[in-house]
Structure 1
């Protein structure tokens, strides 16, 4: 544990997680970013994706919805080799548990079609809510339709989307451009998570998300581990998010019993004040056992986007 870091050990962690409907994990291949991630990645596909989402879903954007908070987060996970220029980017989406290797970053305001080269198509396919909040029923029917997801666009325009059904994803805030505490803690925790996960049977652990068993986003015995940008609560470093895939199984402790569905399948669990000495316990209890470590619990999200509290 690095010494001298001003970590808040006084406040209760439960309930300190930011509320969100979905978290988009943008694959940058970098391990740190500027303070405002929308100012980073000039002439990079991932940078254009973040800026485009902010312009379309942020203040003044056509898809602004105060009840649909999309948490856009940069990560050290490497983008697909197909994203060779500034026009496409790769990302993981939770709690939908999907990997979209090629997302268009261009915005064509004159387009009225569902062109796959239009970022609006991606937003309408994945990021808009399935249904609007009850207070929005007073909006015109056309406005309600424009703010509601069109899921059939996923298969017609993003056929290469991969479901993350079996591989857990562990994300560690390492954004030293925002706060040195996470910048110092994250690499230490990343190394320890990789070591512990390999020790319990994950043959492939890391930020490579293409290429089969050696780095597939949903390959057998694989775990995705990466650093991410600011998610709030730097004073609670280290901050760790554990996403348990919807089809992950656990071995039953009963004699002669087969594997059963993971108790936290399809959920994301946020932890704070994580030190290297806690990593083995988090892997044993949460990743393998399906139990929440209450002393570190900041909050969570289920497959429907509902926020979890203790």
Structure 2
């Protein structure tokens, strides 16, 4: 049986350190790209977007599914295993996660009466800078003694805006137009180049298109009653749980969360829905994102940072963090036995273990590469 994820063998750490100083060992193939008008590159294949794991670098762990996983998908579980996944998702510029306290919704979340999602649907034409992905989530709604239920035109809730990793509190359906103008439209997008901070070894090598002027959000411009704060988590894992769109999503999401929790707890990285400790991994259920026939869908958002080995990622993932999302790695066909390596390699290192079978797409703002 393999050693637990939190007690990596020294050889694996040495391989990771070797990878750190050997750019071509497990890097992406930027020759398989196509120039875009905005200065970014479109990755024509999986290896041009994210690095894949390699046994000679990452250890033989990357070749094997979890052997100690006791959680299984339903016996009659069946999904599409034949379609080619990569390169078929539509591009998006920002992602808005709306707290509802629920894990399932009506078929189209914009039809949830009295909700922020409904208001966003009505004012979607006011959004600038590209497509806004809208997701309802199981993030708890704030407690209000004079209100019942999660929705209402004056019922405040909380939203999370990506890639800026910002919580906005006090959002009501009536204030959605102000939210769009004051927060969403000025915010950076997935196509805003990201420059890394200078490391102790000197500035990082430039990559991707040039860095634009600062587009950080100004809390002083917020409408009355709204507040802006940093999301404390270093990583986010989003799992589609909407059973009204496909029963498989409603079945798989709770099982995957249990196994992810089992893998993250020994590392000190698990954060539940009420855990505001800095760092760690937030796991949220979200509404339909497309491709339910490839269940389970998983989106991994990772903050920008210099390249480091997995041991450093674990240590630094527990403390104060900052910065925007550098990557979103969108996977599908995820099973409980995949979760150990998803944590070990995808969440902590930004690598993909089974790109041909599981990678749908995503973006990397540090390299200036997208899948669309």
TM range (shorter): 0.7 to 0.9
Counterpart pick for 2:111 among 23, 27, 39: 39
What is the rounded CA distance, in whole Å, between the counterparts of 2:254 and 2:328 in structure 1?
A: 21
What is the rounded CA distance, in whole Å, between the counterparts of 1:222 and 1:83 in structure 2?
A: 31
SS at match of 1:178: coil
Answer yes or no: is 1:71 the counterpart of 2:133: yes
SS at match of 2:123: helix
**Match of 1:122?**
179
What is the rounded CA distance, in whole Å, between the counterparts of 1:91 and 1:84 in structure 2?
A: 21
Q: Deviations over 1:228-284 (max 9, x none)?
A: 110000011000011112359855669xxx96999x962211110000000000000
Counterpart pick for 1:55 among 122, 129, 139: 122
What's the TM-score once normalised by structure 2's chain length?
Answer: 0.61
**Match of 2:34?**
none
* Contact 1:299/1:307 (<8 A) preserved: no
What is the rounded CA distance, in whole Å, between the counterparts of 2:187 and 2:167 in structure 1?
A: 19
Counterpart pick for 1:283 among 322, 340, 343: 343
What is the rounded CA distance, in whole Å, between the counterparts of 1:84 and 1:274 in structure 2?
A: 41
Q: 1:259 to 1:200 in 2, by over 3 A?
A: closer
Give the Å deviation of 1:76.
0.7
* Contact 2:158/2:171 (<8 A) preserved: yes
**Match of 2:252?**
185
What is the rounded CA distance, in whole Å, between the counterparts of 1:250 and 1:270 in structure 2?
A: 22
What's the TM-score once normalised by structure 1's chain length?
Answer: 0.72
SS at match of 1:34: coil
**Match of 2:326?**
266
Give the Å deviation of 1:83.
9.7
* Contact 1:174/1:185 (<8 A) preserved: yes
SS at match of 1:220: coil
Give the Å deviation of 1:125.
1.9
Give the Å deviation of 1:96.
1.6
Answer yes or no: is 1:29 the counterpart of 2:86: no
**Match of 2:51?**
none
Q: Counterparts of 1:168-247 in structure 2 under 5 Å?
A: 168-202=235-269, 204-208=270-274, 215-216=275-276, 219-246=277-304
Q: 1:124 to 1:153 in 2, by over 3 A?
A: farther
Q: Which has the higher contact order (CA 8 A, sep 6+)?
A: 2
What is the rounded CA distance, in whole Å, between the counterparts of 1:97 and 1:83 in structure 2?
A: 29
SS at match of 2:141: coil
What is the rounded CA distance, in whole Å, between the counterparts of 2:365 and 2:160 in structure 1?
A: 15
* Contact 2:232/2:278 (<8 A) preserved: no
Answer yes or no: is 1:102 the counterpart of 2:167: no
Q: Deviations over 1:133-167 (max 9, x none)?
A: xxxxxxxxxxxxxxxxx976643326731223642
Give the Å deviation of 1:24.
0.5
Aligned residues: 258
Q: Structure 1: 5+ residue runs without aligned partners? A: 107-117, 132-149, 209-214
Answer yes or no: is 1:3 the counterpart of 2:75: yes
Give the Å deviation of 1:172.
0.3
Q: Counterparts of 1:136-175 in structure 2 under 5 Å?
A: 154-157=219-222, 160-164=227-231, 166-175=233-242
Q: 1:224 to 1:259 in 2, by over 3 A?
A: closer
Answer yes or no: is 1:91 the counterpart of 2:159: yes
What is the rounded CA distance, in whole Å, between the counterparts of 1:154 and 1:307 in structure 2?
A: 30
What is the rounded CA distance, in whole Å, between the counterparts of 2:160 and 2:272 in structure 1?
A: 15
Q: Structure 2: 5+ residue runs without aligned partners? A: 1-72, 189-214
* Contact 2:162/2:325 (<8 A) preserved: no
Give the Å deviation of 1:187.
1.1
**Match of 2:60?**
none
